Amino acid sequence: MGCLLDALTRGYDVLGLGAAADGDEVFRDLVLARIIEPASKLDSLRVLDEAGVAAASYRTVQRRLPRYATEAFRQQLSAACAAHARLGPASLVLYDVSTLYFETDAGDGFREPGFSKERRLEPQITIGLLTAQDGFPLMVSAFEGNKAETKTMLPVIKAFMAAHRLPDVTVVADAGMISEANQKAIEAAGLSLILGMKIPDVPYQVEQWRRDHPDQEIPDGHVFTQPWPAGPSSSRRDQVIYYQYRADRARRTLRGIDEQVAKAAKAVAGLAPVKRNRFIRLDGAAKSINRELEAKARTLAGLKGYVTNLAACPDGTPVTADFVIGSYHELWRIEKSFRMSKHDLQARPIYHHLRDSIEAHLTIVFAALAVSRWIEHQTGWSIRRFVKTARRYRTIQIQAGTHTITAADPLPPDLRAALDEIHGRSAAH
């Protein structure tokens, strides 16, 4: 397993995590073990032993965990990741949240029942992840499980900017993360933003286009631009809203509307129970289909809004619809980081109960995610494929008298090429 350990250690060092952790070998070993085989802290020692690492004792690991939960330690790791990402004042950062649940019945003020995308009732915590434009992690923060998602963004971003002395960053986030009050708070903090937005009513530009082009479908990919200047007494910047129409999005939305209206019709006819369906109108005991809402939903099908207050792109060029919409669509990268942390690195801290232990666990997962993303960037492989492939090949040292003989399994060409990329040997070959 020597080639795997060498590769992961190389990533850890290139990212500057070793220096950020003040050379803490226990932390490094826990990060590498998390990537090789996610397990409890106790079982991580078994993983390290199988990998040929002389790991610290479990008691030593327990003594070190409180340090990994401190804000100072986590900020040092975050600073190393920010330096690697080469963030500047105009850099784009992506923000999203997820939840981690616990197998317990009682909340404790931190682990609390709240809104769960997995529809779970157990206590949970809310995780806010800030990444660079390519999904590389920059900062992770934990909040109470019943804290609203919209109230997590600003504290995370302000803390990140203050720690790294950034006068401004451009925040890219989904519509579900932004309430009207939250958007005003972001603007009041002086941040630049690119946000997805919900469209409550048909925009004037769309209505005008349809009046001018009767009996025509909006062209696929067409963008409507609506300047939204700030008023004389407003503290916000001038904004621009882009409304983009996609035929594919319209087709999916219309299919969903058809299914919901069909279910509403069955419920109105008494053939199915009344469940949550926005197209059912209830007036006392009377039920009917809300045809006005249906018509409005069909009119909006295929449209999505994007709002920005950027005066210029990061490179100084004028802001365009393609830049704004393209930047928003990079959010899939942070979703990938969440999937990696939850599945490949098994972030859910089912073995932890105290807040310090949970925070320390998330610090280890954060560092493991950074190394994993670096490995993927260097090799083009998924971290799961790389670990599974490299783990099979071991280096064995045999002591014969005063001589040490090293024997290694021959590496296949694709793995050797991936390792060359990691170690920077590709140019030499």
For 255, other C-beta atoms within 10 Å of its C-beta total 11
Q: Which of 98-102, 254-258, 287-291, 353-357 ranks highest by mean pLDDT?
A: 254-258
Question: How far lies 350's CA from each of 28, 57, 219, 354, 362, in Å?
Answer: 21, 21, 50, 11, 12
Instruction: Give per-residue pLDDT as tens, 371-409.
Output: 999 999 999 999 999 999 988 887 666 677 777 776 667
Position 89 confidence tier, pLDDT thresholds 50, 70, 90:
low
Gyration radius of the chain's alpha carbons: 26
Q: What crossing angle do the helices spanning 153-164 and 71-85 adopt, rounded to 10°? A: 80
Average pLDDT, the chain: 86
pLDDT at 9: 94
pLDDT of residue 235: 73
Query: What per-residue confidence (pLDDT) applies to 349?
Result: 63
pLDDT of residue 428: 42
Which of the pair, 259 or 338, is modelled with greater confidence?
259
Write down the pLDDT at residue 427. Answer: 46
Amino acid letter for position 328? Y
Q: Using pLDDT thresholds of 50, 70 and 90, give the confidence band for residue 429.
A: very low
- Residue found under tokens 């993303």: 373
Quick one: angle between helices 58-68 and 355-379, nearest 10? 90
Tokens of 48: 């390290």
Report the number of secondary-structure helices (H) and strands (E) in the chain: 16, 12
Predicted confidence (pLDDT) per residue in 159-174, tens digit: 888 887 777 788 888 8
Give the Cα separation of 56 and 366 in Å (integer).
Answer: 21
Kindly give the interhelix angle for 383-390 and 25-36, rounded to the nearest 10 degrees: 100
Q: Decide if pLDDT at 419 tops 50.
A: yes
pLDDT at 225: 94
DSSP state string for 55-106: PPPHHHHHHHHHHHTSHHHHHHHHHHHHHHHT--TT-EEEEEEEEEE-S-SS
pLDDT, residue 342, reads: 73
- Considering only CA atoms, which of 60, 10, 65, 53 is closest in space to residue 361? 65
d(CA 264, CA 260): 6
Which tens digit of pLDDT belongs to each residue from 236-273? 788 999 999 999 999 999 999 999 999 999 988 888 88
Question: Position 339: which residue type?
Answer: R
pLDDT in tens, 106-135: 788 888 888 776 677 788 888 888 898 888
Residues, the chain, total?
429
In a 10 Å sphere around its CB, with 0-12 CB exposed, 13-18 middle and 19+ buried, how is residue 346 labelled? middle
| Ramachandran angles phi, psi of 425, nearest 5° | -100, 0
For the chain, the 3-state helix, strand and coil shares in percent, each to the nearest 5, are: 45, 20, 35
Percentage of the chain surpassing pLDDT 90? 44
- Pair of tokens at residue 128: 């806010």
Burial 205-242 (b: 16+ CB within 10 A, else e): ebeebeeeeeeeebeeebbbeeeeeeeeeeeebebbbb
How, if at all, do strands 92-101 and 170-173 pair? Answer: parallel
pLDDT at 426: 53
- Choice among 91-100, 220-229, 322-331 with the minimum mean pLDDT: 91-100
